[in-house]
Amino acid sequence: MQDILALLTPADRLEISSGLGFALLLARYAHKAKAKLVIDAEEYKYQAGVHLFAVMLSEHVTAQLATTEPLVYNTHQMYLRDSMPVLDMHIRNQYKLGVKLVRGAYLDSEDPDVLCESYEKTNEQYNAAIKLCSDRNIHTIVATHNHDSIKIATSLENPRISYAQLLGMADDISHYLAHHGQQVYKYIPYGSVQDVVPYLVRRAHENKAMTKRAKAERKRYLDEFIRRVKGQVCPTRIDFPVRGNGV
């Protein structure tokens, strides 16, 4: 991080200071509401700056609000070749940051040299990151609609792991996890149409595997409808080894 700071101009430092002031205001509101402040990822050319901002914000929050658990979460895009070394460095330096894991959403605009060579390699890194964070007991948001990744995360039975999906996407997974005691966040984009629609398109591209599971999801919705008509108690089963983490 010191290498990045050395590259900043006085104007850059002033802009970061202004941004930190606003972010700290948001952090105070989040702290009062017992909520989390999750910083999203950006394109690779901006990501080092985003990581730096997240670290600086978390240090200010820890000093000023005396939080016992991470209030600020930093997002790591696991389709980047250097994502595991960066994540490991953040953990080893003991930054007071939670971790949000995503695959990545800027595939079309990124330089191929910074990306994993395949979707399978991205999945491999994503799942390895889940295990790394669990092993190091890091507060982690597993932000995915991918069944295999969720199976891995739930099998770890770590109470510091929570889950996130976009509102209106993979709601069946979210409901099932929540019913079994897992902490689940539903992400709601907010803003003008011209800002929100491109964001949702990127999310859909990021979760391209969803198109392959649409048929199975429709079947689960039908099964859930039948379950409710019959008055059964437990939501339609999804093949996750969920036991609940008590949060």
CATH number at residue 110: 3.20.20.220
Contact status, residue 179 vs residue 242, Cβ threshold 8 Å:
no
* pTM metric for this prediction: 0.83
* Distance in angstroms (rounded) separating the CA atoms of residues 58 and 154: 27
Instruction: Give the number of other CB atoms < 10 A from CB of residue 210.
Output: 16
Question: How big is the chain by its Cα radius of gyration, in Å?
Answer: 19
Q: Which residues in the chain come in under a pLDDT of 50?
A: 244-247
Q: Is residue 236 part of a domain?
A: no
Collapsing DSSP states into helix, strand and coil, what is residue 140? Answer: strand
Model pLDDT, residue 246: 37
Q: Is residue 224 part of a domain?
A: yes
Instruction: Give the number of other CB atoms < 10 A from CB of residue 39.
Output: 19
* Distance in angstroms (rounded) separating the CA atoms of residues 110 and 180: 38
Smallest CA-to-CA distance from 32 within 63, 67, 82, 78 is with: 67
Instruction: Give the number of other CB atoms < 10 A from CB of residue 215.
Output: 8
Model pLDDT, residue 245: 45
Q: Which residues contact 8 (CB under 8 A, 6 or more apart)?
A: 16
- Domain with 159, as residue range(s), is 2-230
Q: Is residue 195 part of a domain?
A: yes
Q: Is residue 240 part of a domain?
A: no
Q: Which helix (H) or strand (E) holds 149?
A: helix 147-155
Task: Look up residue 113 and give its DSSP letter.
Answer: G
Smallest CA-to-CA distance from 82 within 123, 121, 114 is with: 114
Q: Number of structural domains, the chain?
A: 1
Q: Is residue 53 part of a domain?
A: yes
Q: Is residue 135 part of a domain?
A: yes
Contact status, residue 99 vs residue 76, Cβ threshold 8 Å:
yes
Q: Is residue 247 part of a domain?
A: no
Model pLDDT, residue 197: 84
Q: Is residue 235 part of a domain?
A: no
